[in-house]
Amino acid sequence: MLLLPSAADGQGTAITHALTSASTLCRVEPVGRWFEAFVKRRNRNASASFQELEDKKELSEESEDEELQLEEFPMLKTLDPKDWKNQDHYAVLGLGHVRYKATQRQIKAAHKAMVLKHHPDKRKAAGEPIKEGDNDYFTCITKAYEMLSDPVKRRAFNSVDPTFDNSVPSKSEAKDNFFEVFSPVFERNSRWSNKKNVPKLGDMNSSFEDVDAFYSFWYNFDSWREFSYLDEEEKEKAECRDERRWIEKQNRATRAQRKKEEMNRIRTLVDNAYSCDPRIKKFKEEEKAKKEAEKKAKAEAKRKEQEAKEKQRQAELEAARLAKEKEDEEVRQQALLAKKEKDIQKKAIKKERQKLRNSCKIEEINEQIRKEKEEAEARMRQASKNTEKSTGGGGNGSKNWSEDDLQLLIKAVNLFPAGTNSRWEVIANYMNIHSSSGVKRTAKDVICKAKSLQKLDPHQKDDINKKAFDKFKKEHGVVPQADNAMPSERFEGPYTDFIPWTTEEQKLLEQALKTYPVNTPERWEKIAEAVPGRTKKDCMKRYKELVEMVKAKKAAQEQVLNASRAKK
């Protein structure tokens, strides 16, 4: 019962009575259905028109219930109550023409009508035979109402509605009449959507946004359809907990498989529609034309930009040319001015020389030139004597240093660098072995001669190197590529290789010799590849030189050690 609130202050209704003597004012309490409607609208903050719409909706539902026409199921009396899972519950209640759109009120009214007509007591009173227990077909009516009155069970039965068409049109079917074929299919499958306001397929005039929204919705379709109604095993019939768990596991696996098949069916439907949709083809052609237009516009803009750059470059080149011509003209004018000044200076010097010749006596000038020449020759003779003294001070046999001995000394100094054990004894021993003069040199002789060579004039060093190189050409018959070969950094001597080996090349050669041992096939080809800029012949020659140098060092060091041991 609805309890109306009391009237607020100032909301009382005044009624005036017409009396014979005088008018009397009375206060009354507002009540009735109109006041009830007013309170509802005020509490819900709704207008009178909205309330009228709701009232009309309720009246329409009541009128629909009153006008509901049940369709008698002709096979009702032949149904087997034990096979209730395979029966059409909507047809049993006479709602086969309404099906999933039936409201709960209509289901309840249909059940009530079926009970009044097919109840066993009424049929028994009419003289019809009645089966005992649950074997009577009335059990099917009761089971149908049980399934459809429960929202969960009804959804399970609606998911496997036997009248629903699960077919998917093929691409060939929708080749000429796409919208007529696919529109009803999407319409009937939209009932499975969890989301309301399912977008329509539309027509040929639909915009790109509408078409894109439609296919986005169906490619991400959220379906509530489930297949628990088709479970083959009922867990209520299990005898123990383990058996019930096993039944639940089997049912879950079966439902998941059927759900997967359902989603594949929806995906196939959407894929077929997308591939046959003429609007998609139109949009792709428009997009392609748009891209082509943009590409052409970009190419045109790029061409114009290149033309502008080319014009600018030509203008810059022209400006640079004019500036260079101007600069060359200025340089030429400056050169002309300098030449004029030089000519003026030459004329002035010529005049001064003429005056000098006229003013000085020729004999005095010649005498002075002769004296200066004699003094210069005397200084040169003295310098050569000093040089001979400095080069000749080295002990016994030091004054007999031939050109071959000097070159052998230079070679030995380069062969045994600083840091060699007993370096000068080793160099002296090396010279005694390889010298052709037969003169025995001591370490002191070698040190003195090496120091004197370092003090020589650069021109004298060049003469020694040139003589050694001429001798090398005569012995080996080699034509050098360059006349001005640079001497070694350690000691000035002639080059024996046309292209000297750098430190980096020497490291690469040593590493390659370690990487490719003697038994490696095509060893020297691989070593030459590891040293850029060197051929196989260069690498083999350098290797032989290194072997000879090592052998010479070892031999000289052994002789020095033997000599020192003999003295002891």
Q: Label residue 391 by pLDDT band (50, 70, 90).
A: very low
State whether 182 and 272 are in the same domain. Answer: yes
State whether 202 and 245 are in the same domain. Answer: yes
CA distance 208 to 200: 14
Taking the chain, what is the end-to-end CA distance rounded to the nearest angstrom?
140
**Interval 291-311 mean pLDDT:** 92
For the ranges 177-186, 364-373, 482-491, the maximum mean pLDDT occurs at 177-186
The CATH number linked to 107 is: 1.10.287.110
pLDDT in tens, 442-451: 888 888 888 8
Domain contains 424: yes
Give Cβ neighbours of residue 110 (< 8 Å, ≥ 6 apart). 68, 70, 93, 94, 95, 102
The full DSSP string for 389-429 is HHHH-SSTTTT---HHHHHHHHHHHHHS-TT-TTHHHHHHH
State whether 108 and 197 are in the same domain. Answer: no
Q: Label residue 382 by pLDDT band (50, 70, 90).
A: low
Tell me how far the alpha carbon of residue 22 is from its chain's centroid: 100
Task: Calculate what percentage of the chain has a pLDDT beyond 90.
Answer: 10
- Using the 3D structure, point to which of 236, 259, 276 is the last residue of a domain: 276
Domain contains 112: yes
State whether 87 and 140 are in the same domain. Answer: yes
CB-count exposure of residue 486 (10 Å: 0-12, 13-18, 19+) = exposed
Domain contains 418: yes
Q: Is the pLDDT of residue 209 over 70?
A: yes
The CATH number linked to 539 is: 1.10.10.60
As given in the structure block, the two tokens for residue 137 are 């077909």
- Using the 3D structure, point to which of 276, 302, 335 is the last residue of a domain: 276
Residue range of the domain that includes 201: 178-276
Domain contains 1: no
Q: Is the pLDDT of residue 510 over 80?
A: yes
Give Cβ neighbours of residue 46 (< 8 Å, ≥ 6 apart). 40
State whether 116 and 184 are in the same domain. Answer: no
Among the listed residues 168, 179, 218, the one whose alpha carbon sits nearest the alpha carbon of residue 202: 179
Cα pseudo-dihedral 251, 253, 257, 259, rounded to 10: 60
**How many structural domains does the chain have?**
4
CA distance 140 to 118: 11
**Helices first, then strands: H and E counts in the chain:** 19, 2
State whether 152 and 80 are in the same domain. Answer: yes
Residue 105: half-sphere exposure toward Cβ, Cα within 13 Å = 10
Q: Label residue 322 by pLDDT band (50, 70, 90).
A: very high
Lowest mean pLDDT among 130-139, 252-261, 439-448: 130-139
State whether 409 and 443 are in the same domain. Answer: yes
The CATH number linked to 410 is: 1.10.10
Domain contains 506: no
Confidence at residue 496, expressed as pLDDT on a 0 to 100 scale:
42
Question: CB atoms < 10 A from the CB of 510, how many?
Answer: 13
CA distance 76 to 372: 154
CA distance 191 to 184: 12
**pLDDT top residue among 418 and 108:** 108
The enclosing H or E element of 534 equals: none
Give Cβ neighbours of residue 194 (< 8 Å, ≥ 6 apart). 222, 223, 224
**Interval 414-435 mean pLDDT:** 80
Domain contains 532: yes
pLDDT in tens, 34-92: 888 888 878 877 665 555 666 665 555 555 554 567 777 777 777 777 877 788 888 88
How high is the mean pLDDT of the chain? 77
- Using the 3D structure, point to which of 276, 292, 317 is the last residue of a domain: 276
Alpha-helical regions (H) of 126-276: 138-149, 151-159, 178-189, 208-219, 241-276
State whether 103 and 138 are in the same domain. Answer: yes
State whether 187 and 249 are in the same domain. Answer: yes
Among the listed residues 225, 215, 220, the one whose alpha carbon sits nearest the alpha carbon of residue 272: 215
120, amino acid identity? P
Lowest mean pLDDT among 101-105, 113-117, 458-462, 485-489: 485-489
Domain contains 481: no
State whether 154 and 214 are in the same domain. Answer: no
Helix axis angle, 104-118 to 138-149, nearest 10°: 170
In degrees rounded to 5, what are phi and psi of residue 28?
Answer: -125, 160
State whether 182 and 213 are in the same domain. Answer: yes
